Chains A and B, each alone.
Chain A
Amino acid sequence: MTEPHIELEDLRVTLGKREILRGLNLQLRARTVGLLGPNGAGKSTLINTLLGFWKPTSGTARVMGFDVRTQARQIRALIGYMPENDCFIANMPAVSFVRLGAELSGLPAEQALERAHEALFYVGLGEARYRKMGAFSLGMKQMAKLAQAIVHGPKVLILDEPTNGLDPQARTRMIKLIQEMRDLGTMHIVVCSHLLRDIEEVCEEAVILKAGQIVHYSNLEAERASNRRFVEIETEGDDGTFADAIEMLGCVCSVTAGKIRTVLPEGIEIRDIYRLAAARDIQLRRLNYRRDSLEDIFLKAMDMKTPDIKKEVLSGRL
């Protein structure tokens, strides 16, 4: 098993008199992790704590093994951060802006300039790199923020709402870039977004926060794999024995409102279901693989009340 890049142990953060993060326990190992939650759930506080801007009230948080309380500088050297809000210097050309970021991360001036050009070309701003950032569109600013986040070659990349304000074409480009970076395998990516579709498209794991607590932590890859084995079938001409016949194949079935829900065990494929239906002269009117989408998981998690969260935590499911 790989070492976790982010570890939280009973992490609590209080701002003013309000406890924002309430005892988070987590170990993130996946290449891409989605951080989800409604407004005020504590996502930004968690990011700011990981960056060392907020000190934990109790508990610990570690990034690549470094403690956020005492080794914030080392952590920041390893992190690339793309904030949600506007972050640019209006009268500075994009290439100078990205170069400045690289130099502040410790790259020598020449390498920083070279990397700035590369990063801007990579995010698709090659032609606009000498333009002042104040004249950039929202989409271009997002791309420039991504360029400054990756220019120094971080080990952990934190993207806060990366597709915010992007048109469909630019969004697709951004998602593609994140997927490319994920597939390169040189960095761990944490994506913080309200858009579940974005998380579903790029992340391997998802963490859902609510009221400063983790209400769900799921491995989306495993979820997708299990979804592929979950089948919901609607039939025509079934005398009620089709479910039994499927069970005879070794599947576990449940029948509700005329729909058969079953999980296919290893060795049983969909074509076996088709064969069985054909043999019994039953029409398959609908066959659905989908079980829980991230949206279903998210909505379920949002419905969960605080005592339920505690129960889930105690039972070790979270």
Chain B
Amino acid sequence: MAVYKRTYKAYSGPLTPPASRFLVLQRYAFRSVFKSRLLLIGYLLCFVPMIFVLATLYVNQNATLLALVNQKAGFFKIDGNFFLNILGFQFVLAGFLTAFIAPTLVAPDLVNGALSLYLSRPFSRTEYILGKGAVIATLAGALTLVPGLLMFTIQSSLVGWNWMLDNFYLATATVLISGIVLSIFTLLGLAMSALVRWRIVAGALILAVFAIGKGFGAMINNVMRTNNGVYLDMQSLIQTVAQDLFHNTRPVDDIPVYGAWIALLAICGVLLLIINRKLRVCEVAG
């Protein structure tokens, strides 16, 4: 370590490209998230079911094993339903992960007014949201999107080219459903931790929003004798969209798929508005 002279010098060196500055925030956020060993262990455990599933895919197509039990077409069918169930479970894990990590990302910046220091630099609110949101999206995406695509790739390599072409909709569906669910989780996590600065409450609120929406929607349906309350139930909306994408015919609620898409996008918009409003208040110091 150099011995620094106690004098001030102006900086005149090179600068990083402005477009990459949100990655700085992301890097610091990752470091702070994984400072907790408990969280790190919990996160790694979230991959265990997927490892089991990937092993099952291999076993399901293993000719020796199939011959042993005199089975020709595999133990179970790999179709939209299989993908839907596996991804559904992973999305639940991703939801819990979001409830754990999102409050640790935004709340500390708001509690002690650090946000005004970020935003008094050449760094915008959008970049802030992007930087923090990227952390949730990356971590949750590693639990959902990546394993989903991995399942598709492994199954394709095991079964063959024809299966891949016939079931390409599974890959598209995985990308689309992961995109919308991760967007909702990310924005919900940021919005709740911007609204409630107490970490535990913010975490609980992230999970509670699903139950509150479901309950409130059911109440509206009963009181108003309508089915429109389901638009407040995010879980039903996601299921409707997911079942359509994975060609699953099991009915969830009597709502059109396009209605579910619009409702989910509208929820994203509302969450974005909440985040923007809360951050706007905090960015102005003094």
Contact = CB atoms under 8 A, between A and B. Distances in A.
Contacts, number: 120
A160 B117 CA distance: 13
B160 interface: no
B138 interface: no
B11 A153 contact: yes
Contact of B122 (A77, A88, A111): A77
Given A85-B113, A89-B112, A108-B16, A122 B121 contact: no
Interface string B88-112: 0000000000000000000011011
Interface in A128-156: 145, 148, 150-153
A105 B122 CA distance: 6
Contact of B4 (A86, A118, A184): A118
Contacts of A85: 113, 285-286
Interface in B9-27: 9-16, 18, 21, 24-25
Contact of B113 (A87, A91, A100, A104): A87
B120 A79 contact: yes
B24 A84 contact: no
Interface stretch (A43-51, A203-211, A270-278, A305-313): A43-51
Given A88-B112, A89-B108, A100-B24, A81 B117 contact: yes
A90 B15 contact: no
A117 B7 CA distance: 12
A121 B3 CA distance: 10
B163 interface: no
Contacts of A51: 120
A261 interface: no
Nearest to B285: A83
B37 interface: no
A135 to B, nearest CB: 13
B286 A44 contact: yes
B18 A106 contact: yes
B24 A104 contact: yes
A79 B100 CA distance: 36
B81 interface: no
Interface in A171-186: 180-181, 184, 186
Nearest to B31: A96
B118 A104 contact: yes
A230 interface: no
Contacts of A187: 10
Nearest to B104: A91
A196 interface: no
B24 A54 contact: no
A90 B113 CA distance: 10
A59 interface: no
B109 A89 contact: yes
A23 interface: no
B123 interface: yes
Given A76-B122, A81-B120, A104 B25 contact: yes
A104 B286 CA distance: 21
Most buried by A among B9, B16, B283, B286: B286
Contacts of A54: 284
A84 B286 contact: yes
Interface string A59-94: 000000000000001101101010111111111100
B159 interface: no
A187 B117 CA distance: 19
B8 interface: yes
B113 A106 contact: no
Most buried by B among A48, A86, A89, A148: A89
Contact of A121 (B6, B16, B18, B112): B6
Contacts of B161: none
A234 interface: no
A103 interface: yes
A189 to B, nearest CB: 12
B75 interface: no
Nearest to A100: B28
A2 B113 CA distance: 36
B286 A111 contact: no
A5 interface: no
Contacts of B8: 119, 122, 150, 180-181, 184, 186
B6 A153 contact: no
A83 B113 contact: yes
27 contacts: A44-B286, A47-B286, A53-B284, A54-B284, A74-B122, A76-B122, A76-B123, A77-B122, A84-B286, A85-B285, A87-B117, A88-B112, A89-B108, A90-B111, A96-B28, A100-B28, A101-B117, A103-B16, A103-B21, A107-B15, A108-B16, A111-B13, A118-B4, A121-B6, A122-B7, A145-B117, A153-B10
Closest 9 CB pairs of A and B: A153-B11, A106-B15, A44-B286, A153-B10, A83-B285, A81-B120, A77-B122, A121-B4, A186-B10
Given A76-B120, A126-B4, 7 more contacts: A86-B112, A87-B113, A89-B114, A104-B21, A104-B118, A122-B6, A153-B9
